Structure 1
Amino acid sequence: MKTSTKYSVSDAATLYKKSRATLYKDIKNGVLSRDHDGSIDFSELLRVYGEPFVGKHSKRIDTSSVSKTDTPEYIDNTVVEFKHQIDFLKKQLEKAEDREAKANSRIDTLLTLIEMKPPQANMTTFTDQEPVQPSMAKTNPEPDTAEAKHDGLTTPDQTENKRIPVPEHVEPEQPKRGWLSRFFLPNG
């Protein structure tokens, strides 16, 4: 019997002595399922069809008396297989920890960037700010005169608010039309 755990539809049909059409029909009806790569898992075949046919006269053979599990060779092979599996799992764990560390680093970077972004509501313009240092403050306060106020370097304060003119009569917006109505209805 084949020890592989995945079978193609053709191999499964040969193993169970069924036609491929039968297997495809069972897959379509949801009785049998395939993996994402199109292969059928052996456990799925066992669930649906039971034990595969070994020969014309299939008899269950007690395999516990045939294979000796107490032999030193079997134990050594088992230990070697387990060591290989442990090494493989350790490598997978290291890769997963590395991915997690990279993801955490990326999250920290993004959070730092978000915190460094200036808040939109508290932004002020340069002209609205008061001088912070006392040396930058006016040291010689003079009465405001028209000549000092309009020296050509500064702009005069505007006393009135400028308003945007709004037309008194606004035409109502035309209702939206569909694509075909552009060709079949009159323009209005």
Structure 2
Amino acid sequence: MKTLTVLELSKLYNINRQTIYNNIKKGILSKNSENKIDLAEAIRVFGEPNKKQDVKESVKVDSPNLAEVLLLRQQIDMLRNQLDDAKDRESFYQNQIETMQRLLEAPKANMTTFTDQEQSQSNAAPAQPEPGPTDTKHDGLATPEQTEKKWIQVPEHVEPEPEKRSFWSRFFRPYD
């Protein structure tokens, strides 16, 4: 018959080695002269060894690989979710851009632009340009050929500011 060491027997039945030694000490289990236990004796005491045990051991050997595979699958799922969210965000922003472009391309009919207002004012009452310094500064909004000489109209009659008075003049002459 086949004989097993205490370590092999503990792995086969998935029990603690101390339990096997305690059974030997109590006389429930016997050893031969080589300090090995007969398989028939182990079956009498512990019953038939589970065949699933061998399968579990192979799974345990593969369990680090299995854990890595599960981790990688979780990461793939997470990345897929992030990709879907990014695609949704991109389509939303693309729609926003298209909406803004449509609004910019089609101004409302009742709105007048700044250049339309200038043209209507120049047709209604032609302004008389007053002599003044020429300013050839280019502001970047229009070409130098398009810029017109614009003058600020100053009212003809401007009242001079009253003379500032000191404290004592206000005190001795309050109504001047």
User: Is this a same-fold pair by TM over 0.5?
Assistant: no
Structure whose CA Rg is larger: 2
Which structure has greater helix proportion? 2
